[in-house]
Structure 1
Amino acid sequence: MKLHYQLNAAFTTLLLVILSVTGFVIYSLILNLLVQDEQRQLKQNGELIVSFLNEEFGTIQNFQQFSDFLEEQDLQLFVYDKQLNRVLDSTMSKNVENGFFINNNFTDEKESLWEYGNDKYVTSRIAFYPESRGLELILLTPLNDLQAVQHNFFVRLLIVFIVGTGAAVLLSYFLTNKLVTPLSRLKLQLKKIEKRQFDQIERINATGEIKEVEQSVVEMAEELQRYMKSQQAFFQNASHELKTPLMTIQGYAEGIRDHIFDKEDEEKGLEVMVTEVKRLKTIINEMILLAKLDSEQAVYQPEEIRVSELIDQVVDRALPLVNEKGISFVRDIDADLMLHADQEKLLRALLNITFNGIRHANSQVKIEAKKIDRTVFIVIADDGEGVPKDLVQHIFHRFVKGKNGETGLGLAIARAIVEQSGGKIAVEQSELGGAKFVLRFSRQ
């Protein structure tokens, strides 16, 4: 069953359950309310009659004089003497009077419902003044009359419930349709992603959590598209990077085999071949390392490391290249900074970034480490020409090389290591004028 129908069925079922319980409770309470209201009205009518009789006929000796008056009233009533425990008069026949007296306890003033035959009657008792006379006026109303009112009220309530349920179901259908339609359209967009039709992805008008899901789907599609393009670029660049040294090696190897070169050129060719083989080995080793970093969590062995000691190792390894280029290496490290990461891998990432900065620096490379709130920042900056704007978005992709770049894998490896260590890396414009690589590690 589709979600649209499931939501409507669930809402309708819940509504019917609520209305059924409400109707049952109202049906049960309405009779009690009608009985109470009828007793109140009987008491009001009885008090008027008693007040009138007391004024007109005043004493018990004049009782026979108001018997005719009671007969004229369109009411079912008794005049009851509590002291004698007998009915003095009533507006009903003698048989009915006797039947009531036999079936009910007239002395029980708490009993509000009397029975006669198969019917029940609501009663109300009003005492004559003074109460010492022991006379009471007892008025009755058939319960069937109240039940008829109850039934009529319930029928009307049922009609209201039916109309309300119909309107609620229609409104539910409209709202669920409005809710489910974006999901159905989102499903179509996911099908396009499945078929890799990224250029045909359409935005969906939605609100709330569905809008958030739609945004996530769009971002996922864009990321998949970038990933696939980067993979295509990776294979193209990889084939190009591998093809160039292989062609060089092949050309010299064939020339040496066919004795085209003289002895001096053969020696030179062998040296070039060895150099290109080393270059191939470096590229392949870095490709293998990058693949392991992306796919094998076991290659990471995180531990608590002191940042200052890590930076010392970077400086020691970079010092020969710094001296060779004649540039200054400035460091500014906060004391007692700690990170939870694989020391060997993170050292490799920092060396890749640092060597990259040294190659592009004019006179200075600066490395900083500080902690802000619960985040540790490691910043490596140089005063070189910086990263071209067209390369900023792709600088960490594989085989993307800037000026004087080597394999194009160093920064890709650095990013993989930093991200696997729970950090983030970004490149910005340095205050020194060149590039600035910022590594962020949040401590939980």
Structure 2
Amino acid sequence: MKLQTQLSIAFTSLLLVIMAVVWHVIYSLILNVLIQDEQRQLEQTGELLVEILNEQYHTQDSIQQFYSILDDQELQMILYDRSQNRILYSTMPNKVVEGFHRKNNISDYSETIWDLGNEKFVTSRILILSRNSGLEMILLTPVSDLQEVQRSFFVRLFLVFLVGLFIASVLAHYFTKKLVTPLTQLKRQLKKIEKRQFDDIKHIKATGEIKEVAESVYEMANELERYINTQQTFFQNASHELKTPLMTIQGYAEGIKDGIFDEAEADKGLEVMVSEVLRLKGIINEMILLAKLDTEVNSYDPTNIKVEEIVGQIVDRALPIVNEKGITLSHRVENNIQLYADEEKLLRALLNVVFNGIRHAKSQVVISAVKKDGDIVIKIEDDGPGIPEEFASHIFHRFVKGKDGETGLGLAIAHTIIEHSKGKIVAGKSDLGGAKFTITFPK
């Protein structure tokens, strides 16, 4: 069953339950309200009749005239003498009055609702003349008359409920359709992602949480497309990087085997072959390392690291290369800064970034580490030519190699290690004129 149908059924069922409860509550209350209202009306009518009787009708003839007037009014009334427990006059059938008298309804002043067979009557008592006279006027209304009013009211109420239910169902269908339509459209976009039709993905119109989910889907699609492109580029570059030394090795090996080279050229060829094998071995080792860093996240063994000590290790290992190139490597580190990361892997990442700076620097490389707003910020800057614009957006991708680069995997390895260590690395332009790599570890 589709989500829209499920939501429509759920909303309609909820409305039916609410209306049924309201119906039951109103139905149970309306009769009591009608009875109370009828008792007030009977009391007002009785008081008016008693007032007329007291003022205008005193003699026996005048009272008989008053009775005839009551007959014309079609009132259901009993005149009762309390002192003698006798009915003086009634506009109701004698059988009904005798039934009331037999059941002691007339003499029981505590009951306001009288029963006679299957019929019930609402009553109201009004004294005539004075309290001591014992004369009493009793006005009655059958409950069936009130129930008829009740039924008429509920027929109208039922029609109103039907109209309300129809309108509510239409609104529920409209709103569920408005809610489900973006989800249906989003499903189509996900199908396109499944088929890798990234160029055909379109934004959908949505609001609230669905819009947030849609934006997350678009971001996921962009990241997936970038990842697939990166993987394709990686395999293309990897095959190229591996193919070049293999072709060189193959060429020299076949030449030596066929005796094309003399002894000196053969020795030189062997040296080139060894050099290319070592280069090939380095590329393969770094590719294996990258694969492990991506897949074996549990291989990280984080500990508390003093930044001052790890920067000291970097300076010690880079010193021979710095002296060979004739440049200076300076560092500034605040005291008592500590990191929580895998020391061996983080050292590898920082060395890759520092060696990259040394290869491109003209005269100096600067390492600084400070604590800023609780975050630890490490900067590595050089005064070289900087990062070319064509490399700026994908400098941390694999096999992206600039001038004087080696395998094109060093910065990719550094980026992977730093991200797995909950840090972030960004590349930019240094005030020294060259490249600046800013590594941030949140507190």
TM-score when normalising by structure 1:
0.93
Alpha-carbon distance, 1:66 to partner? 4.6
Q: Aligned to 1:396, what secondary structure does the other structure show?
A: coil
Query: 2:120 aligns to what?
Result: 120
How far does the alpha carbon of each residue in 1:212-271 deviate from its partner, in whole angstroms, 9 at most, with x for none?
222222221111111111111101100111111111111222222222222222222222
1:165 aligns with 2:141: no
Shift of 1:48: 1.4
Contact 1:104 1:114 in 2 (8 A): no
CA pair 87-321 structure 1, distance change in 2 beyond 3 A: farther
Return the alpha-carbon distance in structure 1 between the equivalents of residues 104 and 223 of structure 2: 87
Distance 1:82 1:353, change over 3 A: farther
Residue aligned with 1:336, SS: coil
Q: Which residue number corresponds to residue 320 of structure 1?
A: 320
1:225 aligned partner, one-letter code: E
Q: Percent identity?
A: 61
CA drift at 1:58: 7.0
**Change in CA separation of 1:86 and 1:414 when aligned onto 2, cut-off 3 Å:** farther
Q: Kindly indicate whether the alpha-carbon contact (under 8 Å) linking 1:70 and 1:90 is maintained by their aligned counterparts in 2.
A: no
* 1:103 aligned partner: 103
Give the letter for the 1:414 counterpart.
Answer: A
Structure 1 263/60 Cα, relative in aligned 2: closer, same or farther at 3 Å? farther
Deviation at 1:347, TM superposition (A): 0.9
Letter paired with 2:240: H
- Corresponding residue number in structure 2 for 1:434: 434
Give the drift of 1:330: 3.1
Deviation track 1:15-72 (CA, whole Å, cap 9, x = no partner) reads: 1111111111111111111111111211211221222223334799997775445444
Counterpart of 1:287, as a letter, is: M
1:388 CA displacement = 1.7
Tell me, in whole angstroms, the C-alpha distance in 2 between the residues paired with 1:333 and 1:119. 101
Cα distance, 1:356–1:90 mapped onto 2, change above 3 Å: same
CA distance in 2, matches of 1:22, 1:214: 40
Distance 2:289 2:42 in 1: 98
8 Å contact from structure 1 (residues 360, 384) kept in 2: yes
Aligned counterpart, 1:291: 291
Give, in angstroms, the shift of residue 307 of structure 1: 2.1
Could you say which residue in structure 2 is the equivalent of 1:340?
340
Structure 1 237/134 Cα, relative in aligned 2: closer, same or farther at 3 Å? same
Secondary structure of 2:441's counterpart equals strand
1:417 aligns with 2:408: no
Q: Tell me, in whole angstroms, the C-alpha distance in 2 between the residues paired with 1:96 and 1:68.
A: 20
Q: Aligned runs of 1:131-170 on 2, under 5 Å?
A: 131-170=131-170
Cα deviation for residue 410 of structure 1 reads: 0.5
- Provide the alpha-carbon RMSD of the alignment: 2.2
Unaligned ranges ≥5, structure 1: none
Q: Distance in 2 between matches of 1:131 and 1:380?
A: 110
The number of residues matched between the two structures is: 443
Q: What corresponds to 1:305 in structure 2?
A: 305
Distance 1:332 1:135 in 2: 115
SS in 2 for 1:183: helix
Q: How does 1:212-251 map to 2 (within 5 A)?
A: 212-251=212-251
Cα distance between partner residues in 1 of 2:387 and 2:342:
28
Change (3 A) 1:39 1:404: same
Larger CA deviation: 134-143 vs 326-335: 326-335
Residue identity opposite 2:408 in structure 1: G
Matched, 1:189 2:212: no
1:8-87 correspondence to structure 2 within 5 Å: 8-57=8-57, 66-87=66-87
Q: Distance in 1 between matches of 2:289 and 2:258?
A: 38
Per the alignment, residue 263 of structure 2 pairs with 263
Query: Bigger CA drift: 47-56 or 211-220?
Result: 47-56
What is aligned with 1:279?
Answer: 279
Instruction: Give distance in 2, aligned partners of 1:119 and 1:53.
Output: 30
The CA distance in 2 between the partners of 1:350 and 1:228, in whole Å, is: 27
1:379 and 1:437 in contact (8 A); partners too: yes
**TM-score, normalised to structure 2's length?**
0.94
Which segment is superposed worse, 86-95 or 281-290? 86-95
- Runs of 4+ in structure 1 displaced over 4 angstroms? 57-69
48-57 or 274-283, which deviates more? 48-57
- Which deviates more from structure 2 when the two are superposed, residues 393-402 or residues 175-184? 175-184
**1:398 offset after TM fit, Å?**
0.6
CA-CA distance at 1:273 after TM superposition: 1.4
Q: Is the CA contact 1:302–1:340 (under 8 Å) kept in the aligned structure 2?
A: yes
Name the counterpart of 2:358.
Answer: 358
In the superposition, relative to structure 1, how do residues 135 and 424 fare at CA in structure 2: closer, same or farther (>3 Å)?
A: farther
Task: Please say which of residues 367-376 and 427-436 is displaced more in the overlay.
Answer: 367-376
CA distance in 2, matches of 1:346, 1:391: 24
Match for 2:302: what amino acid?
P
Gaps of 5+ in 2: none
Distance 1:51 1:382 in 2: 114
- How many angstroms does 1:321 deviate by? 2.2
C-alpha distance in 1 between matches for 2:404 and 2:431: 22
- Greater Cα shift, 6-15 or 72-81: 72-81
Deviation readout 1:385-422 (Å, 9 max, x if unpaired): 22122212211111011221110001111111111112
> What is the CA distance between 1:94 and its match in structure 2?
2.8
Tell me, what secondary structure is at the counterpart of 1:196?
coil
Are residues 1:3 and 2:3 paired? Answer: yes
Greater displacement, 232-241 / 356-365: 356-365
Deviations 1:284-321 (A, max 9, x none): 00000000000112321122222222222222222222
